[in-house]
Amino acid sequence: MATSLRRVLLSLWVFSGICTHVRAQSADRSINVSTVSAKTDLPIFDRYEIDYESGLIWKVGGGATPLSYRMLPQIITLKSPADAHWMIGTGHLVMRSRYSLVSEPIIYGPEHYFFGVTASGSLEYWDAPQHWCFFFCGGGGVGIMHAKGYVIRGGQGEDFNLTWLIYSGIRYRFNDRMNVGASVYFQHISNGGLDKVNPGVNAIGPMLSVGWHF
């Protein structure tokens, strides 16, 4: 009789432990689901974003090189959550930070490439549903190219160069994670007087982009 009682008590103890473990696992899953849900409920401009941007820009203006440069900017950008946020009517005006890796094959010009890094601010206006965004960016950075200014008149005189940019356009968010955009991109490249040969390049053109929010 005592043996049977011990077996029953032992069985109850094991069953109780199993139930406790199952409840704990269920609670952990609920917390994880709640955390993911909370993240996706954040405003779109309060998440990080990675963009891929591609386009064609060509030399403009008479103050820089006389050569007709054409370049193909390929840009990967990380954008921060909003650094500042203002309500404008029913929409949202936010300021975000942009950090970009820039690769630009030069398809017309004495050099063949420009590689650089840039940082800029991004002023964005989002409508109330956060589907449409109008943006304006301005910033600068540094980069390198294989300068040909001492070989070809109008080419750049220094491998190390400075760059600044102005970038404006529109984006459309078509689901919770993704957006597409179209914009106009202006870029200046020069060596900032590091070399006596310093014609510089001013270029402008259209860009298309796709972005992922996380």
Query: Would you kindly state where each structural domain of the chain is located, as residue ranges?
Result: 1-41, 44-213
Of 172 and 13, which is predicted with more confidence? 172
Query: What is residue 16's predicted lDDT score, i.e. its pLDDT?
Result: 54
Q: Which of 33-47, 49-63, 72-86 is most confident?
A: 72-86
CATH class for the domain made up of 44-213: mainly beta
Is the pLDDT score of 20 beyond 90?
Answer: no
Angle subtended at Cα 102 by Cα 97 and Cα 107, rounded to the nearest 5 degrees: 145
Least confident of 1-10, 84-93, 118-127, 164-173: 1-10
Alpha carbon of residue 50 to chain centroid:
4
Residues 213, 49: contact at Cβ < 8 Å?
yes
Query: Average per-residue pLDDT in the chain?
Result: 87
Is the pLDDT score of 93 beyond 90?
Answer: yes
What average pLDDT does the segment 192-211 reach?
95
Least confident of 61-70, 83-92, 158-167, 173-182: 61-70
Partners of 170 in the beta sheet?
A: 134, 182
What average pLDDT does the segment 101-109 reach?
97
Is the pLDDT score of 205 beyond 60?
Answer: yes
- In 3D, which of 79, 83, 89 has the Cα closest to residue 126? 89
Query: What is residue 18's predicted lDDT score, i.e. its pLDDT?
Result: 52
Q: Which residues contact 180 (CB under 8 A, 6 or more apart)?
A: 171, 172, 174, 208, 209, 210, 211
